[in-house]
Structure 1
């Protein structure tokens, strides 16, 4: 059986990351810049490049693309109305369910997993990191949300009903983030690329989504490290409950900040409030 020429193999190894990068960068246009036509064009280009060099990679990039297209079918602007919450629920659920279903029952593989029952106790590192998240989030997040005015990207909340809806919405999206960006996008990319490449690529998608969701201004200075760390923590622990706990810890702090932003007398516990 003839072997592939070394120069052809080297060229292929360069083009494969390009295909994945185009798919990931399409999220910058779809969500960050909110230019859907350009985003779809970049996404299609990535799939065409993958089809030319690696059919196995193409199969998994198609799953990521399906999720991105589903998400891009709606605006990610925060909306606490009944219709808005239903739209988020249906669309984001489909963005996870469709790639999972195709992977499991069409491709007949188990790349996309949601590891819950690992049977391992949290280590000192994991408890220590979670404590660092609590302290860091408590001190830094009020400076960002209240100082930059980023809280204005979320609707004004006053009554108990709106506060309850915000709590559910913030935490539900936080859980979904880990199901899609880490358990789906990162896991699929990890099958084809070294950890650092797969993590960078998933972070591009993650941060672009968060930008449209409302983490703007100098928000990427926080969301980029967070996305990279979540990928690293998942790679290290293989535990969905742990990465979700870390994420929802941040989200509970963010929830308190948003409540305080619109109702200064409530949740008035943030010592770094710059206002």
Structure 2
């Protein structure tokens, strides 16, 4: 993947925030990072690390006391936040809270109807979005009767129909079973690759984080480290490791001659077959 590092689609500079202005304790302190178009960045951290607060700042729900946030060329403020939100889709952990329509295709079309989009154009957008997430065959189904993974696919299709530049996943995999989680991760990887979709995932799921291009680790409101999954999981031992890293460590403890660094799922399979 070739990224244009000169023009990041998201840039966070020296952001600090505290909920109680009378307190000297900051929830976030001097946060700096950038995200390139077409990149998937996961933000991880224990409870109280500041993940949810950072997500709220990116959405314009909270205003930092210091620093600036620039998204899609706009510096985030009260005047620009609505323009920025047109370029950003948000997927929450419970898709049931996002359904409006009585059928899957009605639900995907809802946002487009609010834009007064012409019918034929709207029909094509819905068709394309449902095919992107492999849910076209369910277009006439009641979305509330779908499985958890299917519901999240429909929620994502509704956002993709609006053609956002950025997809923000806020603990979007929490309620999914392992198979649905794995299938949805593959779908998002495919969408990112084909459509240069930028993904920010706020997550406790280390397997989800392992699917990203880079990981930002928050600890006590500051960035502890930023790097690829290989770099982060090789040195950040405070977090539950993704499955392949757990397996590598177990094999290492049993005296097996395994590589000394983190391996992706593909690398682990290749190594096991040697």
TM-score w.r.t. the length of structure 1 is 0.28
